[in-house]
Amino acid sequence: MRRLLTAILWLPACIITIGVSILFYNYRSEFLLEQNRVKEKIKGISNSQISTSIQKVLGLSVASAKANDPAIETVRQYYKKYKSPMRGTAEALVLTCREYDIDPFLIVAIAQCETNLGRKSPEDCYNPFGLGIYAKKRLCFDDWEQSYGTMVRTLRKRYLDQGLITPEEIMTKYNPTSILKADGHWAKCVNRFKKEIENTTL
């Protein structure tokens, strides 16, 4: 009797076991597939959106750091002190100088010596540095910001990168007549005003 009962129950038990196994296998397959989908989504976010977000944050941090450069306020106050027509462009000058790794106070000092910070620049010429102005030749710009870009790039490529670093060295190429006729007055002037800018109180 027991053997007969066992034989009768064995077949349904096998069928149920096989059915449960199939259901479990399908569930596991769907679960693993969904996991892979989630991983791909996370990977996509990591490689694109997160990267973009980080770049945006870093970009804002860099921009914020530049905007908070104390040299900007120093140049602004110095322009104001001498009633320079370049007032309002201090930030543009400093950021341009930082881009080319040049001391902005050196650039301002040159402008002070050449044209009294733009006040003696040729009318409607926007060239406070005397750059490209000699004899009858006159190099002009559309605005002060454009003159900053040209001056800074020129100083970097044709002077600093060539080993002409100090005002005395720069003078030998930028204003050589000062050596012959004025006992190096140009370099002395630049050094004096550069020191004055550095000591500007805010």
CATH code where residue 194 lies: 1.10.530.10
CA distance 40 to 45: 9
Asked if pLDDT for residue 126 goes beyond 70, the answer is yes
For residues 152-181, give the mean pLDDT: 95
Q: What are phi and psi of 200, to 5 degrees?
A: -65, 130
Residues 126 and 171 in one domain: yes
Instruction: Give pLDDT tens digits for 148-159.
Output: 999 999 999 999
C-alpha separations of 161 from 22, 101, 130 in Å:
75, 11, 21
Residue 185 belongs to some domain of the structure: yes
Burial code (b: 16+ CB inside 10 Å, e: under 16) for 156-185 equals beebbeeebeebeebbeebbeebeeeeebe
Residues 99 and 145 in one domain: yes
Residue 128 belongs to some domain of the structure: yes
With cut-offs at 50, 70 and 90, classify the pLDDT of residue 201: confident
Residues 109 and 153 in one domain: yes
Least confident of 7-11, 95-99, 107-111, 166-170: 7-11
For residues 184-202, give the mean pLDDT: 93
Residue 25 belongs to some domain of the structure: no
> How many domains is the chain partitioned into structurally?
2
152-156: long-range contacts, CB 8 A cutoff, minimum separation 24: 152/96, 152/97, 152/99, 152/100, 152/102, 152/107, 153/100, 155/100, 155/102, 155/107, 156/100, 156/101, 156/102
Residues 181 and 128 in one domain: yes
Where are any strands of DSSP class E within the chain?
none
The dihedral sign for the CA sequence 155, 132, 114, 89: negative
The pLDDT value given to residue 93: 98
With cut-offs at 50, 70 and 90, classify the pLDDT of residue 60: very low
Residue with tokens 């804002």: 60
Domain hosting residue 166, numbered range: 69-198
Residues 38 and 95 in one domain: no
Where are any strands of DSSP class E within 26-134?
none
Which of 5-9, 25-29, 159-163, 175-179: highest mean pLDDT?
A: 159-163
